[in-house]
Amino acid sequence: MASLIEKVQTLVSANLHSIVDRALEQNSVAVMDEYIRQAEKNLEALEDSAATVGGTVKTLKRKYEEFAAAAEKLDRDIDTLILKGKDDLAAAAQAELNTKQQLSQEYYEQWQEQERQYQAMLDMRLKLESRLTSIRQEREHLRSLIELTEAKKVTTRTIKSLDSLATTSDKEISSLADQIRTRLDTEDARLEMATRNISEQIDDVVRSGEIDRQLEERRRRLLGGSAGGES
């Protein structure tokens, strides 16, 4: 259990920026894939362990409640026995009460300790799930960036190769080079659009939504005023 908790803590505290930086240096998402595999493996193990501890918590709580209820009943019975003058039975019941109270207290302490551990495991699971979600998202962004970078390299190499073709006197080859250049310019523009900052795109959508809302409010006001004047 301690080893699992340590592994999960290491994954939770991992510097995602460092992982992304290494992936960029290697021009590969392999290091991120390894983190994801480890996180998924330990998350599954953590969930299994949490389920086991959760079951123990329920058992200890039930035991505590059973002994607490029995002790409470014995306490009332002792009062009744004393009032009836049955001191021997009262003494025996008192001894039994002491045992049940002690067991009740022990179960209570174990229950509380396991409950704390259970809640800590649930909290750690949420944190690991959050880190896993973040690294998965960054992986997709990085994969797209790598693909775009490779596409840029291909574009650059193709343009360089076309330079030699364009210098020939063959008009047909020159025309073909121009056509390819035009298509490459279009693809390059598409690549630049694809790499636009996501937050800028979101802002555009938000601003567009705000304009739509303002126009809708204006339509309701104008149409409402017109309807009121006709009546």
Residue 61 lies in a domain: yes
Rounded distance between C-alpha atoms, residue 31 and residue 132, angstroms: 14
Contacts of 64 (CB under 8 A, 6+ apart): 104, 107, 108, 111
- Secondary structure (3-state) at 13: coil
Do 218 and 112 share a structural domain?
no
Q: What is the model's pLDDT at position 59? A: 96
Residue 57 lies in a domain: yes
- Of the three residues 119, 138, 157, the one that is the final residue of a domain is 138
Residue 71 confidence (pLDDT) above 50:
yes
Residue 86 lies in a domain: yes
Residue 166 lies in a domain: no
Question: For the segment 40-59, what is each residue's pLDDT rounded down to a tens digit?
Answer: 999 999 999 999 999 999 99
Do 209 and 125 share a structural domain?
no
Residue 76 lies in a domain: yes
Residue 178 lies in a domain: no
Residue 229 confidence (pLDDT) above 50:
no
Q: What is the model's pLDDT at position 220? A: 82
- Structural domain of 208: 200-231
SS3 content of the chain, % helix, strand, coil (to 5): 90, 0, 10
Task: Quote the mean pLDDT of the chain.
Answer: 79
Most confident of 108-117, 123-132, 138-147: 108-117
Residue 217 lies in a domain: yes
Q: How far is CA 161 from CA 32, 179, 199, in A?
A: 35, 14, 36
Do 213 and 106 share a structural domain?
no
Do 107 and 8 share a structural domain?
yes
Contacts of 127 (CB under 8 A, 6+ apart): 12
Q: Residue 29: exposed, middle, or buried by beta-carbon count in 10 A (0-12, 13-18, 19+)?
A: buried
Is the separation of the CB atoms in 29 and 145 below 8 Å? no
- Of the three residues 112, 138, 164, the one that is the final residue of a domain is 138
Alpha-carbon torsion, ordered 50, 53, 58, 62, to 10 deg: -170
Do 207 and 104 share a structural domain?
no
The number of helix segments (H) and strand segments (E) in the chain equals 6, 0
Question: For the segment 77-95, what is each residue's pLDDT rounded down to a tens digit?
Answer: 999 999 999 999 999 999 9
Question: For the segment 156-205, what is each residue's pLDDT rounded down to a tens digit?
Answer: 666 666 555 455 445 554 454 455 456 545 645 554 554 454 445 545 65
Residue 155 lies in a domain: no
Do 28 and 125 share a structural domain?
yes
Domain count, the chain: 2
Do 208 and 130 share a structural domain?
no
- Of the three residues 121, 138, 155, the one that is the final residue of a domain is 138
Rounded distance between C-alpha atoms, residue 23 and residue 18, angstroms: 9
Tokens 């039930």 locate to 62
100: how many CB neighbours lie within 10 A of its CB?
20
Do 124 and 16 share a structural domain?
yes
Do 129 and 33 share a structural domain?
yes
Do 16 and 129 share a structural domain?
yes
Tokens 């298509």 locate to 183
- Secondary structure (3-state) at 28: coil
